[in-house]
Amino acid sequence: MHSGIASLSEATQSGTLRQNPGTSATVAWLPLPFHNDSGIAGAATGLGIVQAGTTAVTTAGSSTLSEQPPEMIATTWEDLLPLIFKGLIMGTIIVGAVLGNALVIISVVRHRKLRIITNYYVVSLAMADLLVALCAMSFNASVELTGGKWLFGYFMCDVYNSLDVYFSTASILHLCCISVDRYYAIVRPLEYPITMTHNTVSFMLANVWVLPALISFTPIFLGWYTTPEHKVFRLTNPDLCIFVVNKYYAIISSCVSFWIPGIVMVTMYCRIYKEAVRQRKALSRTSSNILLNSIHQHRTSQHNRHSHHYLHPSDGELQLPSRMSGISTTSRQSSSESYPRIKATELNANGEPT
The stretch 70-96 carries a mean pLDDT of 80
* Count of structural domains, the chain: 2
Same domain as 224, residue 104: yes
Same domain as 214, residue 244: yes
Give per-residue pLDDT as tens, 88-133.
999 999 999 999 999 999 999 999 899 898 899 999 999 999 999 9
Same domain as 26, residue 142: no
pLDDT value at residue 303: 62
- Residue 264 maps to a domain: yes
- Residue 277 maps to a domain: yes
Burial of 143 (0-12, 13-18, 19+ CB in 10 A): middle
pLDDT value at residue 274: 94
Among the residue ranges 85-94, 255-264, 289-298, 312-321, the one predicted with the least confidence is 312-321
Determine the structural domain holding residue 18 and report its residue range: 2-62
- Residue 299 maps to a domain: no
Same domain as 142, residue 58: no
- Residue 287 maps to a domain: no
The stretch 25-31 carries a mean pLDDT of 41
Is the pLDDT assigned to residue 7 strictly greater than 60? no
- Residue 336 maps to a domain: no
Portion of the chain with pLDDT greater than 90, in percent: 44
- Determine the Cα–Cα distance for residues 307 and 277; give it in Å rounded to an integer: 45
Is the pLDDT assigned to residue 318 strictly greater than 80? no
Reference 154, options 221, 226, 251; nearest CA is: 221
The stretch 191-211 carries a mean pLDDT of 93
pLDDT value at residue 324: 47
Strand order in the sheet with 41-51: 16-19, 25-35, 41-51, 57-59
CATH number at residue 156: 1.20.1070.10
Give per-residue pLDDT as tens, 40-72.
334 333 333 334 334 333 444 444 444 555 555
- Determine the Cα–Cα distance for residues 223 and 217; give it in Å rounded to an integer: 10
Same domain as 42, residue 160: no
Burial of 117 (0-12, 13-18, 19+ CB in 10 A): middle
Same domain as 184, residue 141: yes
Give per-residue pLDDT as tens, 231-256.
999 988 888 999 999 999 999 999 99
The stretch 139-145 carries a mean pLDDT of 89
CB distance 41 to 33 below 8 Å: yes
Most confident range, picked from 113-117, 311-315, 333-337: 113-117
- Residue 25 maps to a domain: yes
- Residue 92 maps to a domain: yes
Domain C-terminal end among 281, 305, 320? 281
- Determine the Cα–Cα distance for residues 11 and 111; give it in Å rounded to an integer: 81
pLDDT value at residue 280: 87
Same domain as 196, residue 157: yes
pLDDT value at residue 166: 96
pLDDT value at residue 291: 66
> In the predicted model, what is the mean pLDDT of the chain?
74
Domain C-terminal end among 236, 253, 281? 281
Query: Amino acid letter at 339?
Result: Y
- Determine the Cα–Cα distance for residues 221 and 226; give it in Å rounded to an integer: 11
- Residue 350 maps to a domain: no
Q: Containing H/E element for 45?
A: strand 41-51
Same domain as 186, residue 100: yes
Same domain as 130, residue 207: yes
Same domain as 90, residue 35: no
Q: Give the residues across from 26 on adjacent strands.
A: 19, 50
Same domain as 248, residue 139: yes
Give per-residue pLDDT as tens, 276-293.
999 888 887 776 667 666
Domain C-terminal end among 257, 281, 305? 281
Is the pLDDT assigned to residue 191 strictly greater than 50? yes
Same domain as 268, residue 176: yes
